[in-house]
A and B are shown apart, each in its own frame.
Chain A
């Protein structure tokens, strides 16, 4: 590998435009040790201002976290550094890579830098790899693009790099295709592709957002290790303060195209000078005020529930095989109780939710709702007792109906549906309950933001006053500040109406904030159940401990000392 590197370095002619190694140390504009320095970067796309006077420094061997909510401009900053801005973008300022301003370079020169000196990995590992090329070819491509390595040399290099990111030879031959790998493994391939030529700067844009917590922890520790070993600088772009707290040395907090606060992670976390920083911290660690209105009456009882899926047959005459997504799950949800259900993707938590909602047939066990046994297909009377809020605020509504009609949909379940006037009155009540205005019922759904849509979804779930609401990742798609508001709303509604929640989430910190009791699910089974505080402070099951250890946490100071 070393030999190859020398060879390629020697072979890359002057046209490669690779700057002479100078370390940047003596360039006056740079801070000490900075390899990349963004100076006064201002960007607009067409007439819309995107970035305003952004300046950050990245040191070799260090991690810089750029944190912000959606629309803060953090991803655009990354694309500007990569030279991958959309066509109508106009950027001014400087992007100094080892003392050379790369912003004004023509695309051809930027191509030589991309992948070789600055590399990038993206959020969606499932779609970021070409499905038709083998992983070996895709990693080798980076090498072949920038060096004169032969096909065999490039493949050897690809093998080495894949080994380095933990995809070792025997299990992950170069001939594997992306669809044969899990999300975490694909993200490793993308990392291998990015670090194949030992770039000076690696930009990771939400690299773990689409991954489970345990996988996230693995990928983050891999990135940290690579930074240490290669001495490259890593820009970690994320919405999650806790992720940055755990691995970055420096942090920049962005809001609406500006950097509002930047500096060493410890300092920023301790001081929180800017109001937005404080707001972000407060929202991230938000604990809704929950006054208990708990009864002892069980409203939802699940006993030994089993859900099997028929798997596609291996060949035409193969025996039909089944996958048990939910395996003998039992639990009880009491009146006014908020019950959390946590687990990683594929553990069966969403299947369980859908089975409870009567959206899927079950193969065993039974469900009692408000004391009555739920039959197959669920009668209207049974369905009346349960409502649901889904994850995606954009997919949850028929775009062709007005809000009034959307919220009124569950009236269908009533034996004696209210007349037009009464229906409007009750929809108006529900909208007011969730902090919206009665007039909103005459608007179409596209007039509302993500957070408002989630409020409307809650209004719809609430309108016929069920005793249980299933919240399936209901706040997962929201920015932290909006999420905090919705959590407050949920806590308030639960208290007022003695509502019970089954709160399903992959995000442990949210579950800790809103629930009384937690179920931990793995491979279709509940592995641990307990009061929230007990479970989070002294987990009993090994898997629960793994989950807790893997989930990034904000340092305590940030949680309590914020003024």
Chain B
């Protein structure tokens, strides 16, 4: 099977950022937390590729370390969303039309009325701002995203004749969901997973930017941007590079999602079969 161009490009870009985050545990060009007043607000140069911030910290090193936060938040929030949303969606579809289905779907509607920012605001008010706050807020918002997607896909699969055949063979709802429904939803979920992953990175940056996400000293792209804001007029590089890091990561993930969709689309495959 030919790998779509978008998938290859997106995959490489995403991998680069994961690799940077991994590498940051072992090595960074400079200590990302080392202050150096003498070197403050240096523009990009051979020594400091992306320049330094107002405390003289190396921005490239900070971006490497900040990638950890972005990836951790995205992974954890997609994990929460999938881990709870997919079973709920499968369960609702298996009990279609019952009160359980109704409760799950109305619960979903309710969560959808709270954009993840509002959830984050409430949790921040409750427990104070932190990375965990960002993870929970984005994760909770992801639950109905995956639950709806799963339920919708599962409902149409339950109408398929191969599921009828499995029911005639006496298989129960749980077993059918695991054996026949979930595997046929995998493509859909993987594609949505990459999309929510990139949404997670964007929202984490926004939450950290307004101060209800990552707190010092946890490095974060969003917080770097918050600190850069007042200095945009004389040190634009402080804002430019963390922003580009976000853009590239999200772009890479989205391209990967699109590429995966093209590669895995059952309609496309059915045609070639």
Contact = CB atoms under 8 A, between A and B. Distances in A.
Contacts of B183: 398, 400
Contacts of B161: 390-392, 395-396
B165 interface: yes
Contacts of A406: 162
A409 B165 contact: yes
A202 B166 CA distance: 46
Interface stretch (A95-103, A279-287, A380-388, A542-550): A380-388
A453 to B, nearest CB: 11
B162 A412 contact: no
B170 interface: yes
Given A399-B266, A400-B183, A383 B162 contact: no
Interface in A252-292: none
A359 B170 contact: no
A446 B268 CA distance: 13
B168 interface: yes
B184 A400 contact: yes
A386 B273 CA distance: 32
B168 A398 contact: no
Interface in A388-425: 388, 390-392, 394-400, 406, 409-410, 412-413
Interface string B165-186: 1111111000000011001100
A378 to B, nearest CB: 7
Contact of A388 (B165, B184, B266, B270): B165
B118 interface: no
Interface in B151-205: 160-162, 164-171, 179-180, 183-184
Contacts of A392: 161
A460 interface: yes
Contact of A412 (B170, B266, B269): B170
Nearest to B157: A398
A398 B169 contact: no
A362 to B, nearest CB: 15
B168 A396 contact: no
A392 B183 CA distance: 21
Contacts of B160: 395
A387 B167 CA distance: 11
Given A396-B162, A398-B162, A446-B273, A386 B184 contact: no
A130 B43 CA distance: 61
Nearest to B183: A400
Nearest to A384: B170
B273 to A, nearest CB: 4
A406 B163 CA distance: 11
Contacts of B171: 409, 412
Contacts of A398: 162, 166, 179-180, 183-184
B270 A357 contact: no
Contact of A380 (B170, B179, B266): B170
A383 B170 contact: yes
Contacts of A410: 168-169
B263 to A, nearest CB: 15
Contacts of A357: 164, 167-168
B102 to A, nearest CB: 14
Given A409-B169, A413-B169, A446-B270, A359 B164 contact: yes
Nearest to A381: B170
Contacts of A395: 160-162
Contacts of A412: 169-171
Contacts of A399: 184, 266
A305 to B, nearest CB: 18
Interface in A423-477: 446-447, 457, 460
Given A412-B169, A446-B273, A388 B164 contact: yes
A139 to B, nearest CB: 33
Given A398-B180, A399-B184, A390 B169 contact: no
A559 B269 CA distance: 41
Contact of A390 (B165, B170, B269, B270): B165
Nearest to B175: A412
A358 B183 CA distance: 25
Nearest to A406: B162
Contacts of A457: 165
Choose among B161, B164, B166, B179 the residue with the greatest number of A CB atoms under 10 Å from its CB: B161
A390 B159 CA distance: 12
Interface string B111-131: 000000000000000000000
A413 B165 contact: no
A388 B164 CA distance: 9
A413 B167 CA distance: 11
A292 B2 CA distance: 54
Contact of A409 (B166, B184, B266, B270): B166
B23 to A, nearest CB: 37
Contacts of B167: 357-359
Contacts of B169: 383, 409-410, 412-413
Contact of A397 (B162, B266, B269, B273): B162
Nearest to B179: A398
A394 B166 CA distance: 15
Contacts of A397: 162
Choose among B169, B179, B184 the residue with the greatest number of A CB atoms under 10 Å from its CB: B169
Nearest to B180: A398
Contacts of B170: 378, 380, 383, 412-413
B130 to A, nearest CB: 41
A416 to B, nearest CB: 15
Nearest to A383: B170
Contacts of B179: 398
Contacts of A460: 165
Given A398-B180, A400-B184, A359 B168 contact: yes
Choose among B164, B171, B179, B180 the residue with the greatest number of A CB atoms under 10 Å from its CB: B164
A46 to B, nearest CB: 14
A380 B167 CA distance: 11
Interface in B238-273: 266, 269-270, 273
A367 to B, nearest CB: 14
A390 B273 contact: no
A475 to B, nearest CB: 15
Contacts of B180: 398
Contacts of A391: 161
Contacts of A386: 168
Contacts of B266: 399
B262 to A, nearest CB: 18
A380 B171 CA distance: 9
A460 B162 CA distance: 11
Interface in A122-149: none
Choose among B170, B171, B266 the residue with the greatest number of A CB atoms under 10 Å from its CB: B170
Contacts of B165: 388, 390, 396, 409, 457, 460
A83 B148 CA distance: 42
A163 B221 CA distance: 69
A410 B162 CA distance: 12
A409 B162 CA distance: 10
Which 5 pairs of residues, A with B, have the shortest CB-CB distance? A446-B273, A390-B161, A396-B161, A410-B169, A395-B161
Given A357-B164, A359-B167, A396-B165, 7 more contacts: A388-B165, A390-B164, A398-B183, A413-B170, A446-B269, A446-B270, A446-B273
13 contacts: A357-B164, A358-B168, A359-B168, A378-B170, A387-B168, A394-B270, A398-B162, A398-B183, A399-B184, A409-B171, A410-B168, A412-B169, A446-B269
